[in-house]
Amino acid sequence: MLTNVAVLAYEGVAPFELGVLCEAFGLDRTQHGVPRLEFAVCAQSPEPIPTSMGFSLQVHEGLERVRDADLVAVPALPRGRAAPGPVLDAIREAYDRGARILSVCSGAFTLGEAGLLDGRECTTHWMYTQELQSRFPAAKVVPEVLYVDTGQVVTSAGTAAGLDACLHIWRQEYGAAVASMVARRAVVPPHRDGGQAQYIARAVPACDADTLRPLLSWILENLGEEHSVDSLAKRALMSPRTFARRFRDETGTTPHSWVTAQRVAAAEELLETTEQPVEWIASEVGFGNAAALRHHFQRIRGVSPLQYRRTFCPAPAEASA
């Protein structure tokens, strides 16, 4: 049972992510029926700790406090800055004795430095997932989710997703009612649908050569039409085989995957900026029917079109509330 939480602070710590952990586990909510946890922010030394935002923190608990914790939490820090050796040792020792380890945003890089991501599914902010995979090739980075719970180690995506992971831990330890009260005090939903895939900005893939640039622009202007390798190859004045090879070389993907991704992106814009029904949007962007749009949207974005619309284009009454 979770009773004791230690949050690690070190030079470069991100104040918002540190604040998320303090909000989630450090407040006294006993008047609302939420168990009170022993909570402390811990540091290597009593010296003021410079944060990533230009001000410093004074932390009164040392790393020895980590030895009592059931949960050790690691907030974000600039990715080019490694955590001090004693902090990494404290994380490893806590893991070895069975404590649960939680990272928020780029705090996953600290867990990687501590050796806790090898062979393990994990995540971080969508902007940094490729870098995380490159720096720790033995890790199994999952870029599209809000958090990953592998049992003893929980990693979360950017910023607010850290609060999702904290609520997940509350729910596991004390049940849905307690997690809902923690969420209510923080004025956030107790559970969010989907994952961070819906927040990932996907620009049109750039071409290394000019060969296909005019064709890609034409496709974007005519997404509602039916496109096949044969029809696109004919427009590009190539054989289908040559066209398919050239397309992958210049975009890094297949014509079908590229067109599908652009149709989903176009559907996103229409979901955000219009009140048109999903059936109309599906036809407009070239999916043909709502079922096809829902299938590809769910696969790529991790949520349904209507869930996406509710997230990014709330009804006027909801927005005013």
What pLDDT digit, counting tens, does each position of 230-266 carry?
999 999 999 999 999 999 888 878 999 999 989 998 8
Within 8 A by CB and 6+ apart from 231, the residues are none
**Which is more confident, 201 or 62?**
62
DSSP string, 156-189: E-STHHHHHHHHHHHHHHH-HHHHHHHHHHHTS-
Residue 169: what pLDDT?
94
Q: How confident is the model at residue 196 (pLDDT cuts 50, 70, 90)?
A: confident
pLDDT band at 144 (very low <50, low <70, confident <90, very high): confident
Mean pLDDT of the chain: 89
Does the pTM of the predicted model rise above 0.85? no
pLDDT tops 80 at residue 283: yes
Query: Is the per-residue pLDDT at 291 higher than 90?
Result: yes
Using a pLDDT cut of 90, give the percent of the chain over it: 68
pLDDT at 265: 85
Q: Look at phi and psi of residue 301 and say left if phi exceeds 0, alpha if psi is from -120 to 50, else beta.
A: alpha
Query: Are the beta carbons of 255 and 229 closer than 8 angstroms?
Result: yes
Please tell me the predicted confidence (pLDDT) of residue 290.
96
Domains located in the chain, CATH noted? 4-198 (3.40.50.880), 213-312 (1.10.10.60)
pLDDT tens digits along 41-61: 999 999 999 999 999 999 999
Distance of CA 20 to the CA centre of its chain: 15
Task: Please write the tens of the pLDDT for every residue from 91-115.
Answer: 999 999 999 999 999 999 999 999 9
Q: Using the predicted structure, report yes or no on whether residue 314 has a pLDDT greater than 70.
A: no
Is residue 185 over pLDDT 80? yes
Helix, strand, or coil here: 50? strand
Query: Averaged over 24-40, what is the pLDDT?
Result: 96
| C-alpha–C-alpha distance, residues 137 and 140, integer Å | 8
DSSP letter for 196, please.
Answer: G
Q: Which residue has the tokens 């995380």?
A: 132
Residues 174/35, Cβ–Cβ less than 8 Å? yes
pLDDT tens, 163-174? Answer: 999 999 998 899
Task: Supply the DSSP symbol for 53.
Answer: T
Secondary structure (3-state) at 140: strand
